[in-house]
Amino acid sequence: MITFTVNGNKHEFSGDPSTPVLWYLRDELNLTGPKFGCGMAQCGACTVHIDGMAQRSCVLPVSAVQGRKITTIEGLSENGDHPVQKAWVEHKVPQCGFCQCGQIMQAASLLSTNPTPSDEEIVENMSGNICRCGTYPRIHKAIKSASKSISSNAGVSYFDPTQAGEEA
Amino acid sequence: MSENTYFDMNRRSFLKSTAAAGALVLGTYFMGGAPRAMAGVLAKPAENAKRANLFIALRPDGMVEVTCHRSEMGQQIRTAIAQIVADEMEAAWDKVIVIQGKGDPKYGDQNTDGSRSIRFNMQRLREMGSSVRYMMQHAAAKRWGVEPSTCVAEQHVVTHTSGKTLAYKDLIDDALTITPPEADKLKLKERKEWRYINTGMAHIDLQDIVTGKATFAADVREPKALVAIIERPPVVGGKVKSFNADKAKAVNGVVDVIEIPAPKGAPQFQPKGGLAIIANNTWAAWQGRKALDVTWDDGANGDYNSANFKEQLLNTVNAPQALVREKGDALSVLEKASDKLVADYYVPHLAQAPMEPPCATAMYYKDRVDVWAATQNPQADMETVGAMVGMDKEKINVHVTMLGGAFGRKSKPDFSAEAAFLSMKTGKPIRVQWTREDDIQHGFYHAVSAQHVEAALDENGKIDAYLHRTAFSPIASTFQEGANAPFSFELDLGFTDNPILTPNMKLERGEAPAKARIGWMRSVSNIFHAFAVQSFINEAAHKAGKDPKNYLLEVIGPDRIIDVTDQKAEYQNYWGDKSVYPLDTGRLRNVIEKVSDMAGWGRNMPKGRGLGIAAHRSFLTYVATVVEVEVSDAGDLSVIKSWVAIDAGTVVNTDTVKNQTQGGSVYGITTAISDGITFDKGRVQQSNFHNYRVPRMSDSPLEVEVEVIESDAPPAGVGEPATPVYAPALCNAIFAACGKRIRQLPIGNQLKA
C-alpha cells in the first residue's frame, strides 16, 4: 500500500506500483488538470508539484511518491488566484490552453525557489515545457510579472502604465 | 417545455417551435448545404440556404446564449462570435454565455480550418445581433405606445427619451410580435459605435484554462468508459499478419483485444486499422499494447524512403511539367539570358503535432452514436463515424470539446471512427487515447515538396523572366486513390498567385505519388511555396547587389490588383470573391514598409547578426515578417526577435490577432528547426518530441512584436497567415548573418559545415 496526499487529501494506492502518477491522477481521481502530451517527460504538460517542486508526472511511478505531497493545478490556489495564474490572465497567455496547466505549475515551482529569475533563467527553466501554439513570448512576460508581484509582496501594488492594455 | 418562437430570415416571419421554456430564440439563415468533408481545407460556402438555424437565445433570466458552431482550438472563436453578436445586439458582456454547437448541417459549414470562421460568418452574426436589438427597441416602443425612434436599446436595457427603462428580459413576450426588417435594411452599427468588436478584450475561457477546468477531449469523463490504445500498421495500407492476444490480455486490467478493419480505397478519414487494446485504465492499455508482439504485412507502400523520394521530386522539378500560369515567353528569355539565377528548394514532410494527441470518446446505441471529440469539423465526424458503424450520419451526435491544438490534424476524424467502432464491438463507452508516438507516426502529413526556380535578371537586377516548378505529394491523394496531381487549391496557396511583376512568367506543376496519408497543416502548401519564392527573391537581391527589402518592393512593383486568371490560370482565391478580396499588391507593400520601420531595417548589425525579411499573402491576409538572428562562429543559431505586420482587414479581437500572429510565427520555426518527418521502409522514423523537434522557449524569440494594420476592408484569415513567411524570413536572416544560404529544410547541420 502506497500512501501520499493529493491537494491536501490523503490517498492510498494498491494497484500496479509502476503506474505513472499522471494516469493515477487522471483515471482514478478524475483530476484532469495535469495533461498527457508525450509520456516521456519531453513536453511538461503533465507537470505537478511533488513536495512543492515541479515534476513530470507521466514518468513518475506511484511507487516513488510514498509519503509525498502531490499538488496539481486544481490545488495550486483556492480561487485560481495564485500570482502565476493572475499573471497568465493579465497577459492573456493561453491560446488552446492545453499546455498551460503544466506551464503554470512549472513557473510556480521556479518562482518558489527563485522569486526573481533572470531572462536566461526563465528560458532555462521553461524550455522543458512545450507550447505548440507558441505562446512563449507571453509566458516569459507573465513570469516576469508574477515575479514582480511575488517579490514585492508587501501588500501594495502599483499601477504600471506599461503593463496596461493589450499585449505587445 | 412551452411553445417558443424562432425567427426565420427567409420568410420574414416567426415560426412556432418547442424549445427551452420561455426563451426568445432568434435564428438566421446561414450558409447551409455543408460541403463534403473531402473539400477539405477550402470548403466553399453554400449560397442562399436560408434556414433558421443559428441561434441567439434570450432567457427569461436575461442571460443571452450565443451558439458557437465553430471549434475552439486557441483562435478564440468562441469569444469572437460572442463579441460580434453581443455588440450588435447591445448585450451586456457579463450576461453572455457561449454554447458550443454540436455537429449539425443546419449551421452550414463547420469545418474550422482555412482561417475563415470570421470571414464566413461575421456579416450574418452582425445581422442576427442587430435584429435582436431592433426587436428590443420596437417591443419597448410598442409597450409604451411611443415612436421607436425615441427608444434606445443599449446594454440589455431599452431607454425612452423620458428616462423610463425596460430590461431585455422583460421584453421577451413583446418581442415575439415584432418583425425586424430584411437583412439589407437592418441598420448595423457603424464602426465607431462598436464596443466589443475590434477591441482586445480577454477571452471567455481564460480563467477555466488557468485553473485546469477547461474540458479537452481526454478530459471527458464518461464514468463507465473503457480506454483503448491502438497499435496501427506502421505502413499506410499495411495489415495485421500475426499477434499475441493472450499475452496482451494477461496484463492486469486489459479486457479485450479487437481488430479494426483495414481501410478500403483512398484513405479519406478512415482509421488505419490495427489492433485495439481495451482496458480498464490507460496504463493497463499501454502495457497490454507492448505485449501484443504484432507482425505486419506492409503492402505497396513498404518501399517508401524519404531520401529516394527527395531525389525523385528534385528530378521532377528539373524537367518541364504541366502548365499552371503563363505570361509572355519565359523559356526563350531564360534561354538567351546572360545573367541567370537558378535554385532548387526542398521542404520535408511535417507533422502538426498538436499539444493534445487525438482523442475521442464514443458510445454506440442501437439507433445512434454519441461522440465527444476534439474535432475541427464535427460534420466530418458524423460522416466518417456513420460510414464506420453503418448508420446514417444524422444519427451520429458529435459533441465538440476544446481542441488542445489542432493545426489541421483534427479535421481528420479517424480517431472518432475508431472510438465508435470499438464501442459498437464492446457495447461499452470507449475512450480512444492516441499516444504521442501514434500522433507522430500515424498522421496526415504536410506534403513533402521540391521547388525549382529560375530567373533572368537584367543589368539592374530586374526580373525579365521567371520560371517556377513545384512538385509535392498531393492532398488530392487522400481523397482519390492513386492521385498524383494536386487539387487546384493546393497550387492556389502561394504558387499560382505569385505577385512578382515580370513580363515573362511560367509556372508549372509536376506530379508525385503519395506513399503516406497527406493532409493539411497550418497554412498548407503556402509553407513550401512561400519558402521558395521569398528565399529566391532574397537570393536575387543579393545577386543584384541590392537591399533585400527595397528589392522585394521592386519585384512586387507598383500598387495594383493582380488577376492571375488573365494568365491561363485557374485560381479560386480562397473562395473569396475577387472583387471583395482582390490580390492587392499595395497592401503587400504596406506591410513590408510597416514591418521594416518596426524592425529598424537597414540599421548596422554586429558581426554574426542579421535581419531577414519575407512577405506573403495567404488566406486573403497580407503579412510581412522581419527576423533577427545571431549565428555564432560555431554555427549555433539564436532567434533574437521578430516583427510582424499583418493586414487581415477588419479584425474582431485585436489581442487574439496578435496572439495568433505571435504563435503562427513560432509555429513557422518548426519548418526550419524540426527534423521533419522522414520515412524508411514505409515507416515514420520519428516518434516523439525528442526526435521530432518542435520549438521550445529556447528556440523562440522572446519578443514577437506585432502590428495589426487598422483596416476597414472585409475580414480575412488570421490563424494561418503568419506561418508561411517565417521560415524564409529566418533563412534570409541567416544569410545576412553568416552568408550561408539555406535552400533545404530543415536547417539541421547546415550552419555547422
The grid coordinates of residue B16 equal: 412556432
| Region B404-431 average pLDDT | 98
Residue A160 in any domain: the answer is no
pLDDT digits (tens, 9 = 90+) for B671-697: 888 889 999 999 999 999 999 999 999
Interval B356-372: pLDDT, tens: 999 999 999 999 999 99
Q: Which of A75, A101, A134 is the last residue of a domain?
A: A75
State the total domains in chain B.
3
Q: For the residues B403-408, what does the mean pLDDT come to?
A: 97
Q: Are B324 and B460 contained in the same domain?
A: yes
Cβ-contact B289, B244 below 8 angstroms: no
Q: Does A165 touch chain B (CB under 8 A)?
A: yes
| Average model confidence (pLDDT) across chain B | 92
Q: Is residue A161 part of a domain?
A: no
What mean pLDDT is predicted for residues B612-636?
A: 98
**B282 and B334 fall within a common domain:** no
Rounded CA separation B198/B195 (Å): 8
Q: Name every residue whose Cβ is closer than 8 Å to that of residue B489 and which is 6 or more positions away in sequence.
A: B40, B41, B42, B572
Shared domain for B388 and B457, answered yes or no, is no
Domain assignment present for residue A162? The answer is no
Interface residue of A23, A32, A49, A96 to substitute, partner B, most B CBs within 10 Å = A96
The amino acid present at B377, given as its one-letter code, is N
The reply to whether residue B697 touches residue A97, judged by beta carbons under 8 angstroms, is no
- Asked which of A22, A47, A75 is the last residue of a domain, the reply is A75
**A55 and A114 belong to one structural domain:** no
Q: Which of A85, A98, A131 sits opposite B211 (nearest CB)?
A: A85
Residues B565 and B638 placed together within one structural domain of the fold: yes
The rounded distance, in Å, linking the Cα atoms of B295 and B259 is: 13
pLDDT for position A163: 44
Task: Please answer yes or no on whether A97 and B356 come within 8 Å at the CB atom.
Answer: no
The Cα–Cα gap between B94 and B76 comes to: 17
Residue B569's pLDDT is 92
Q: Do B654 and A40 touch (CB under 8 A)?
A: no
- Report the DSSP pairing between strands B226-231 and B430-433: parallel
The residues of chain A scoring below 50 in pLDDT are 154-159, 161-165, 168
Identify whether residues B657 and B721 lie together within a single domain: yes
Residue A92 sits in the same domain as residue A69: no
Averaged pLDDT, B481-504:
96
In a domain? residue A92: yes
- According to the model, what pLDDT value does residue B3 have? 36
What's the CATH code of the domain at B240? 3.30.365.10
Q: Decide which of B204, B233, B253 is a domain's last residue.
A: B204
Please report the residues numbered 396 through 455 in chain B whose beta carbons come closer than 8 angstroms to any beta carbon of chain A.
402-407, 433, 435-437
More confident of the two residues B648 and B10: B648
- The answer to whether residues B397 and B489 belong to one domain is no
Q: Do B281 and A23 touch (CB under 8 A)?
A: yes
Task: Tell me the H-state helices in B450-487.
Answer: 476-479
Res B9: pLDDT: 45
Q: Pick the more confident residue, B179 or B736.
A: B736
Can you give the residue range of the structural domain that contains B256? 217-299+358-433
Does B401 lie in the same domain as B499? no
In a domain, A166, yes or no: no
Contact criterion met (CB below 8 Å) for B515 and B473:
yes
Residue B474: is its pLDDT beyond 60? yes
Which of A47, A75, A103 finishes a domain?
A75
B560–chain A nearest CA distance, Å: 32
Distance from CA of B436 to the nearest CA of A (A): 5
Contact A103, A134 (CB under 8 A): no
Can you give the pLDDT at residue B178?
87
One-letter amino acid for residue A158 of the chain: Y
Whether residue B728 is found in the same domain as residue B644: yes
pLDDT interval class at B48 (50, 70, 90): very low
Instruction: Let me know whether A136 and A106 are in one domain.
Output: yes
| Cα(A140)–Cα(A134) distance, integer angstroms | 11
pLDDT at B172 over 80: yes
Asked if B462 contacts B540 with a C-beta cutoff of 8 angstroms, the reply is no
Q: Does the pLDDT of residue B14 top 50, yes or no?
A: no
**The pLDDT value given to residue B408:** 97
Q: Does A121 touch chain B (CB under 8 A)?
A: no
**One domain, residues B574 and B704:** yes
Q: Identify whether A6 is part of a domain.
A: yes
| Cβ atoms of residues B498 and B311 within 8 Å | no
Q: Which residue has the cell 450520419?
A: B393
Give the pLDDT band of residue B568 (cuts 50, 70, 90).
Answer: confident
Q: Residue A60 is part of which domain span?
A: 2-75
Q: What percentage of residues in chain B have a pLDDT greater than 90?
A: 86
Tens digits of residue pLDDT in B202-225: 999 999 999 999 999 999 998 899
Q: Which long-range contacts (CB under 8 A, 24 or more apart) does B732-735 make?
A: B732/B534, B732/B535, B732/B538, B732/B548, B732/B612, B732/B613, B732/B614, B732/B627, B733/B610, B733/B611, B733/B612, B733/B626, B733/B627, B733/B628, B733/B629, B734/B610, B734/B612, B734/B629, B734/B631, B734/B637, B735/B538, B735/B542, B735/B610, B735/B612
**Cell numbers linked to A79:** 480561487
Give φ, ψ of B748 to 5 degrees.
50, -125
Are B324 and B197 in the same domain? no
Residue B109 pLDDT class (50, 70, 90 cuts): confident
Kind plus residue range of the DSSP H or E element containing B167: strand B165-167
**Is residue A8 located within the same domain as residue A58?**
yes
User: Average pLDDT for residues B169-177, to the nearest whole number?
Assistant: 89
In this structure, the answer to whether residues A104 and A66 fall within a common structural domain is: no
Predicted confidence band of residue B24 (pLDDT cuts 50, 70, 90): low
* For residue B7, pLDDT beyond 80: no
Based on the fold, state whether residues B690 and B638 are members of the same structural domain: yes
Task: Please tell me the total count of domains within chain A.
Answer: 2
Task: Give the DSSP per-residue string, B380-443.
Answer: HHHHHHHHHHT--GGGEEEEE-B-S--TTGGGSTHHHHHHHHHHHHHSS-EEEE--HHHHHHSS
